[in-house]
Amino acid sequence: MFSILLVLLIIVAVFMTGIILLQKSEGSGMSGSSAASMFGGALTGAAAGNFLTKLTTWLAIIFFVLCAALAVVSSKTANNAQSELRTELAADELANEPTPESTPIDTPVEPVTTTDTPAKAQN
């Protein structure tokens, strides 16, 4: 699912880039030379501006919806991977935990002594 959404996002991004480059800017952009030849003059003038603007708007909406869908799918995938990793780590910890039979019970423990007075600083 993630790879399908990613491919769709890339395709929409490429189309949106091309449509933005075709739009007429203050300097006439690429639309002055290529749009008239590509579409046979049908998309020149005001009609081209309206069509390209609406198409850019719809492609931008689709782009952001695909980005949100990718984020949701990615977070679900990451959560599943983290939970699987956590269960594996927990199983490893249980396997490596010492058993009561392997730890000696009669090991003497040395007492810890503390003093109430701090050590005198030497000048």
Residue 49 falls inside a structural domain: yes
Residue 121 falls inside a structural domain: no
Query: What SS3 class is residue 68?
Result: helix
Give the pLDDT confidence score for residue 57 in this predicted structure. Answer: 92
Give the pLDDT confidence score for residue 66 in this predicted structure. Answer: 93
Q: What is the mean pLDDT of each run of 10 residues along the chain (123 residues)?
A: 88 92 68 54 62 90 94 79 67 66 61 66 58
Give the pLDDT confidence score for residue 52 in this predicted structure. Answer: 86
Give the pLDDT confidence score for residue 2 in this predicted structure. Answer: 83
The structure's pTM equals 0.50
**What sign does the dihedral 64-65-69-70 (CA atoms) show?**
negative
Domain total in the chain:
1
Residue 99 falls inside a structural domain: no
Query: What is the residue range of 36's domain?
Result: 2-94
Residue 55 falls inside a structural domain: yes
Residue 62 falls inside a structural domain: yes
Residue 22 falls inside a structural domain: yes
CA distance linking residue 65 with residue 68, whole number of Å: 5
